[in-house]
Structure 1
Amino acid sequence: MRGIARMIEDDRYCIEILHQLQAVKSALAKAESEILKNHAAHCVAEAIATGDTEDQQAKFGELVDLFERVRK
């Protein structure tokens, strides 16, 4: 992000800045996807494996909350 801020300060061509912003957004989306997969594979799976219904509901609730925030 500092690099993009520097590009703006240096009055770089708008399309160059937009390309960099797209690259950052793509990288963040990939990271988000991997973290979500990890959460499902480990945290949610562990809650299911333990049979702890309270923990299962909490993990499911967290995911629902996350997806609701994304929709807004």
Structure 2
Amino acid sequence: MLSADEKKKLAHRLSRINGQVEAVRRMIEADEYCVDILMQLSAATGALHRVGEIVLDQHLNRCVREAMESGSDAERQAKLDEVMTIFRKYRK
């Protein structure tokens, strides 16, 4: 689980990302230079990826750690399987 402070920080990051995506929409509507649009898309994608990294870090350091320290063998295996699924998805 994310703390209230972490949730607030992520919400702020996501608001900024939302603003970046809205800027891309406006740029496309205004027929702005493709390279400028691509740069803005890259910034938004990178920022969204960073949010994913933060959430993954919290999951590994809280949920997975807890399962490894106090869970049953089945719970530990389920968490490992879950993490592998996440890594496969993010690898792409």
Q: Which ranges of structure 2 fall in alignment gaps of 5 or more residues?
A: 1-20
TM-score (normalizing by structure 2): 0.69
Counterpart in the other structure of 2:77: 57
Question: Runs of 4+ in structure 1 displaced over 4 angstroms?
Answer: none
Structure 1 residue 70: Cα displacement = 3.3
Task: Give the TM-score of the pair, scaled to structure 1.
Answer: 0.85
Matched, 1:20 2:69: no
Q: Which deviates more, 62-71 or 51-60?
A: 62-71
Q: Whose relative contact order is higher, 1 or 2, with alpha carbons under 8 Å and at least 6 apart?
A: 2
Greater Rg by CA: 1
* 1:11 partner letter: D
The gaps in structure 1 that reach 5 residues or longer are none
CA RMSD of aligned residues (A): 1.4
